[in-house]
Amino acid sequence: MLELEARAEPSRLMSWASPLLAVALMLVGGLVVFAALGKDPVEGFRVFFLNPVKDLYALSELLLKATPLMLCAIGLAIGFRANVWNIGAEGQFMLGAVAATGVALYFGDSESALVLPAMVLAGAAGGAAWAAIPALLRTRFNANEILVSLMLVYVAQLFVSWLVFGPWKDPDGFNFPQTRMFAEAATLPIVIEGTRLHFGFAIALAALVAGYAFMNRSHAGFRMRVAGVAADAARYAGFSAARMIWLGLLLGGAAAGLAGMGEVAGPMGQLTDKVASGYGFAAIIVAFVGRLNALGILLASLLMALLYIGGEQAQQYLNLPNSISMVFQGMLLFFLLGADVFIHYRLRLRRRGA
């Protein structure tokens, strides 16, 4: 009979093969889902996975959707490597959007070249400030950062709603919960003419490079890796646990805040109560599918963006609910967790009675 046997040491091969296996199983599971919903599996596969990459505009939309996922995920990966579990990137994303919006509204119709850099700094600062709350409560009162960062997401949602229904509501917006449209100086420039892909994509790529350098080429990144792999060894070496917590949460919050800034200064051009699209939560899956590695996160972000856009395509062409993309995200996470078992265990065939 088959049984699980612990490996002498974790399998490096399975560590990287696990996400690929999870993706393959998700694709097979997707065909089953389409068939169960009464749709042609082949047509469903074409609409969901091929339509989003059929031409240049479709590819630009894929990169646009992947941009906030890259930013959020690389920030989360830094903390996750040190076992700092920031689950509140969604709230930090929203506070970054709020801070950047505040700068855009303050400058109004100004054409100053300083508006956009100020919004970038404000977005990063807003996300970091929101992440500082669980960092303070963890280091000062030993509060669980998972629960605190998660609960702050709902506080952030209510704060955004209060702003767009109240003091920041556009008086000419036909009573919709939204701010005024930003001036041109407060929006990110388009990088491919005829598409919506903006300079935020370049910022996300730069963040991936910076994240890789920090995690793999800096002393601070080394200390965080040691803290994540061997907490006792980190304490023995004199590495400050409190500093790791602050660093992991602040960097994750700043990256999520930048993503929020890119969302309001990019395709939206204003702040609305729908600014959060689940990017912060999806980025958690992206970080783990990407193995907390910059290159892996880049590829996983593209995959997750494909699932988002595929859900929209399935809604339009197959008359399926947009939540179908959440089904695929759930399958991806489920199969990833299952495949990860084989990093530490392997199957052995044992004879009965042996």
* 244-269 pLDDT, tens digit each: 999 999 999 999 999 999 999 998 99
Spell out the domains of the chain, with CATH numbers in brackets. Answer: 2-349 (1.10.3470)
Q: What percent of the chain has pLDDT over 90?
A: 86
Q: What is the pTM of this model?
A: 0.94
* 200-227 pLDDT, tens digit each: 999 999 999 999 999 999 999 999 888 8
- H-run or E-run covering 2: strand 2-6
CA 334/CA 36 separation, integer angstroms: 19
Among 252, 275, 202, CA closest to 81: 252
| Contact between 100 and 265 (Cβ < 8 Å) | yes
CA 324/CA 179 separation, integer angstroms: 30
| Contact between 190 and 196 (Cβ < 8 Å) | yes
| Contact between 129 and 253 (Cβ < 8 Å) | yes
Q: Which pair of tokens denotes residue 66?
A: 């992947």
| Contact between 318 and 39 (Cβ < 8 Å) | yes
Query: Running DSSP on this structure, what letter comes out for residue 172?
Result: T
CA 263 to chain centre: 13
Sign of dihedral through CA atoms 333, 334, 339, 340? positive
